[in-house]
Structure 1
Amino acid sequence: MSATRVSVNLQNNRFIKVVEWKGEPRVDLREWDTSDKEAKATKKGVSLSLTQFKELTDILEEDIDQSLQKNEASTWHLGANVYVTVRKDNPCVDIRLYWRPPYQKEAVLTRRGLCLRPVEYDILIEHIVEITTHLPELTSVVPCYMRDDHLNQVGMLRCKSCNPNDYQNWQDY
């Protein structure tokens, strides 16, 4: 069972929760089924590692807000096939897991993730400080691209988080 450190209601049965899962802190953006007396997590959502959440907080207010204001399409990689996408003429912020089918060059999106509506995104921005205060481990997290093994391109290509679909092709270099 996972222990919840903090829970923020984003409206529409959607929550962002800081939870302990298998001894590791995770940030869970998920839709919950409240039809029964007890709320149950649905598959609609994504669970972010501390590194992925750190990447998200780094791009949250500046880059994502800028794309929304300019009405331009942008995509950011959080690591391990999780992407944040803002589409042109769409005010939503999509945080979603992608998957690359065998023998295809491009990764395709999956059902795992949430498309945050403008109101939900604003609530997330309002509570980001509260969420990060419940994650003291976040201060020691170094983004993947700033680690010593990423000082050259081969280091990045060997990384399972930065290059999740092809990292095994670079192990012999």
Structure 2
Amino acid sequence: MEAAHRDILRKNYSGLVQAIQPVQEVVDKLLQFKVLTCLMKAEIIEKPQTSFDRELETDKTELQDPRCHIDLGNDVFVTAKMWNDELNIHVRKYDVYPSGRSYPTKRGIVLSLKHWLELSGVHFKLQEAIDQGRTHDYAHVGANMYATLDPNGGVDLRQWEKYEHLGRVVPTAKGILLSKQQWQKPRDCCDVMTDFVPELKEMVPCMGQEDHQNQIGYLMCSFCNPNSDHKAVNNVPRVQSDFFQKGRHA
């Protein structure tokens, strides 16, 4: 593909690609040929729906009363609720529509209880990086979910996915960029979440499990070491420089 054609697609990528079905397959192909960047892919998949579409497509389980609804600011909430008989914790942006009802948007991420147990340690690691003046750092939450420092001072909490043909992991649209102020509050949420989710009291962080007391146990764990194929060096994310060029705070 010639450079001129690639530039035209980049200038009009959102409208052009959203009009094509199935979107995911087209986006993956354009990413493979380096027409789109990882940030462009996330924006296309994350493109907001109209209020009419959102009200039609909202699943009934989305409207169930959660165990908690903790405000992080700017309409971002931490909620704990059941889905398919499984309890998860959501960090998600909400929209309020003309009907007066608020709905969770696609901008957010779902954490299993196993992920949630790791969040306190992740917060400590990134805060240490911030205190040392580092603006580019990350922490692995588990199973290819990463918390990555944003040069603007926030933290991007996002699910990554391994692309075999690229030989690396890349960010998906499942995630949310939290401002510095919003990122401070999940640490406080960790202290009170057991009041809403008592199941957490009986759980042990993955690294504290008995089978993780030796190196082999860690290397064999798909949660702690998802991309190594049982090798000692983890395939950490190669964050593309353009991923945070544009602010994406919720």
Query: TM range, normalised to the smaller chain?
Result: 0.7 to 0.9
Aligned partner of 1:85 among 148, 169, 172: 148
How is 1:118-157 mapped onto 2 (pairs within 5 angstroms)? 118-157=180-219
Question: By how many angstroms is 1:141 displaced?
Answer: 1.4
Q: Which runs of 5+ in 2 are unaligned?
A: 1-60, 232-250
Q: Is the 8 A contact 1:18 1:26 kept in 2?
A: yes
How is 1:58-97 mapped onto 2 (pairs within 5 angstroms)? 58-60=121-123, 62-72=124-134, 73-87=136-150, 89-97=151-159
Task: Go from structure 1 to structure 2 and tell me whether the alpha carbon gap of 1:102 and 1:36 turns closer, same or farther (over 3 Å shift).
Answer: farther
Report sequence identity in percent.
Answer: 29
TM-score, normalization by structure 2: 0.59
Task: Go from structure 1 to structure 2 and tell me whether the alpha carbon gap of 1:139 and 1:33 turns closer, same or farther (over 3 Å shift).
Answer: same
Task: Go from structure 1 to structure 2 and tell me whether the alpha carbon gap of 1:4 and 1:113 turns closer, same or farther (over 3 Å shift).
Answer: same
The aligned counterpart of 2:31 is none
The aligned counterpart of 2:244 is none
The aligned counterpart of 2:168 is 106
The aligned counterpart of 1:160 is 222
TM-score, normalization by structure 1: 0.83
Q: Which has the higher helix share?
A: 2
Q: Distance in 1 between matches of 2:121 and 2:228?
A: 25
Q: Is the 8 A contact 2:126 2:139 kept in 1?
A: no
Q: Distance in 1 between matches of 2:205 and 2:194?
A: 16
1:33 partnered with 2:86: no
Q: Is the 8 A contact 1:13 1:34 kept in 2?
A: no
Q: C-alpha offsets along residues 33-82 of structure 1, whole Å, 9 cap, x if unaligned?
A: 2224322222211111111111002332x322222222313211111111
Q: Which runs of 5+ in 1 are unaligned?
A: none
Q: Distance in 1 between matches of 2:228 and 2:213?
A: 19
The aligned counterpart of 2:3 is none
The aligned counterpart of 2:85 is 23
Paired residue secondary structure (2:106): strand
Paired residue secondary structure (1:142): coil
Aligned residue type for 2:215:
Q
Q: C-alpha offsets along residues 113-153 of structure 1, whole Å, 9 cap, x if unaligned?
A: 11110221233344442333212111221122222333333
Paired residue secondary structure (1:51): helix
Question: By how many angstroms is 1:94 displaced?
Answer: 1.3
Question: By how many angstroms is 1:168 displaced?
Answer: 8.6
Question: By how many angstroms is 1:31 displaced?
Answer: 1.1
Task: Go from structure 1 to structure 2 and tell me whether the alpha carbon gap of 1:116 and 1:27 turns closer, same or farther (over 3 Å shift).
Answer: same
Q: What is the aligned residue count?
A: 167
> Would you identify which runs of 4 or more consecutive aligned residues in structure 1 move more than 4 Å?
166-169
**Computing the radius of gyration over CA atoms, which structure comes out larger, 1 or 2?**
2
The aligned counterpart of 1:52 is 115
Q: Distance in 2 between matches of 1:64 and 1:158?
A: 26
Q: Distance in 2 between matches of 1:63 and 1:154?
A: 24
Q: Is the 8 A contact 1:3 1:21 kept in 2?
A: no
Q: Is the 8 A contact 1:160 1:167 kept in 2?
A: no
